[in-house]
Amino acid sequence: MSMLQRRHLLQGAASLAALGLAGCATTSVPSKARVLVVGGGYGGATAAKYIRLLSDYKIEVVLVEPSEAFVSCPISNLVLGGARQIQELTVPYAALQSRHGVTVVRDYVASIDADKRVATLASGPTIAYDKLVLSPGIELMWDSVAGLKEANAAGQILQAWKAGPETVALRRQLEAMPDGGVYAITIPEAPYRCPPGPYERASVIASYFKQAKPRSKVLVLDANQDVTSKGPLFKKVWAEQYKGILEYRPQHKAVAVDAKAGTVKFEVQDDVKADVLNVLPSMRAGAIAVKTGLANSNGRWVNVNYLNFESTAAKHIHVLGDAIQVAPLMPKSGHMANSHAKVAAAAIVAELNGWEINTAPMLTNTCYSYVDTGKNVIHVASVHEYVAAEKTFKTVAGSGGVSAAPNELEATYAWNWARTIWSDALA
């Protein structure tokens, strides 16, 4: 494409976007997007906003997302502990449309034709694109635990790993549980979404039990050999604050559940019975990534070129967040998805303008975990640089680290982090 043609297209896109703005919240589905963003989580919402920002609002962006509003997974464990309400973690998509001119379409993408560069929505219409950003999150692999799909559908055994109605429902189960009852969480083998999340959840619920129903127990049944994130910090908290309440058992890989009996079966160890079962099955890239043939790492995760997050399986499809095969020490976290989105957005803007893409992108991650119902927090932080010789991201030598100990100051920063990153992605 010549420079002139490209300029013409960009101007066309800009005037289309202006029309979209003038028309306010349009309900019609555009037939064409310069960039189509699929999924409005930490990765997708950030990508939609930053492609608009970094292109000086010249590149048209359409975001397809089935949910009415964004609900944050980070902080959702506090809803389980009773310290926050789900509404406080919910952010509308309206500002992406009204402030940034992103066309937001509430629908699912049912299929993607990577060769023709066309996506088909569940409701029928198609949207053609120049670039597609796919941020589908994770799919829970129900079949990895026999009986779980049915027990979950019946509302008996919840995951609450995708924040929303299940988070609220699990809180209700915990409230209804009698004092002296047992809550058990099972953790799948890594990699899974949010490495420290299960341990934070166990800690927050133990804290709630300690205050509200002190004869109750928390069982942490982990398929892994050991705590996969912030291990020494969590274990110290458990020993000092939740002794006799929280019990950690490694090498417990859940393979089946019996919702009626309230039991979990494990690959090796004896069955465990609990009043409230919270079973997290294995996870893989969101269904649309698998269906499109992008999950070329063990059939579970999407290999990408880390310079622009383009799938190695399909041109012009850039994949972000939890769905990708991660680089060493790169967590599947909301903060990391937001970081992926900015690198991808800049690369897409450069590519559509015919400019050089950045050969030295950077990523950061800061992940806070509560160790009680909202007062004390620990963190892990890292900075990642692209290493050209190895074509991957690596942590910058000497950077990053964890908290020395749980502290109240970081609880202030954790909540501030959440409010700021929601704003960075959605406001």
Shortest Cβ 113–other proteins spacing (Å):
30
Nearest-10 crossing angle of helices 334-353, 42-54? 30
For residue 80, what are its two tokens? 């389980």
Does 53 contact other proteins by CB under 8 A? Answer: yes
Only segment of 33-41, 267-275, 309-317, 404-412 that touches other proteins (CB under 8 A): 404-412
Contact 132, 316 (CB under 8 A): yes
Shortest Cβ 97–other proteins spacing (Å):
16
**Which one among 21, 118, 128, 396 touches other proteins, defined by CB under 8 A?**
396
For residue 375, what are its two tokens? 């007062």
Checking DSSP bridges between strand 69-71 and strand 90-92, what pairing results, if any? antiparallel
For residue 171, what are its two tokens? 């809180």
User: Which burial class, exposed, middle or buried, applies to 128 when counting CB atoms under 10 A from its CB (0-12, 13-18, 19+)?
Assistant: middle
Contact 379, 412 (CB under 8 A): no
**Number of neighbouring beta carbons within 10 Å of residue 116:** 10
Only segment of 23-31, 84-92, 126-134, 360-368 that touches other proteins (CB under 8 A): 360-368
**Which one among 103, 159, 366, 376 touches other proteins, defined by CB under 8 A?**
366
# of chain residues touching other proteins (CB under 8 A):
51
**Which one among 339, 369, 373, 376 touches other proteins, defined by CB under 8 A?**
339
Does 358 contact other proteins by CB under 8 A? Answer: yes
Does 364 contact other proteins by CB under 8 A? Answer: yes
Does 355 contact other proteins by CB under 8 A? Answer: yes
Shortest Cβ 404–other proteins spacing (Å):
9
The DSSP annotation for 76-141 comes to HHHHHHTSS-GGGGEEESHHHHHTT--EEE-S-EEEEETTTTEEEETTS-EEEEEEEEE---EEE-
Only segment of 68-76, 241-249, 319-327, 408-416 that touches other proteins (CB under 8 A): 408-416
**Integer-rounded Cα radius of gyration of the chain:** 22
Round to whole Å and give the CA distance between 277 and 259: 9
Round to whole Å and give the CA distance between 235 and 239: 6
Only segment of 66-74, 141-149, 308-316, 362-370 that touches other proteins (CB under 8 A): 362-370
For residue 341, what are its two tokens? 């989105």
Does 382 contact other proteins by CB under 8 A? Answer: yes
Q: Which is nearer to other proteins, 261 or 389 (CB)?
A: 389
Shortest Cβ 349–other proteins spacing (Å):
6
- Give the footprint of other proteins on residues 71-110 (CB under 8 A): none
- Which residue ranges make up the site for other proteins (CB under 8 A)? 3, 49-50, 53-54, 335, 338-339, 342-343, 345-346, 349-350, 353-356, 358, 360-364, 366, 379, 381-385, 395-396, 398-401, 403, 407, 409-410, 412-413, 416-417, 419-421, 423-424, 427
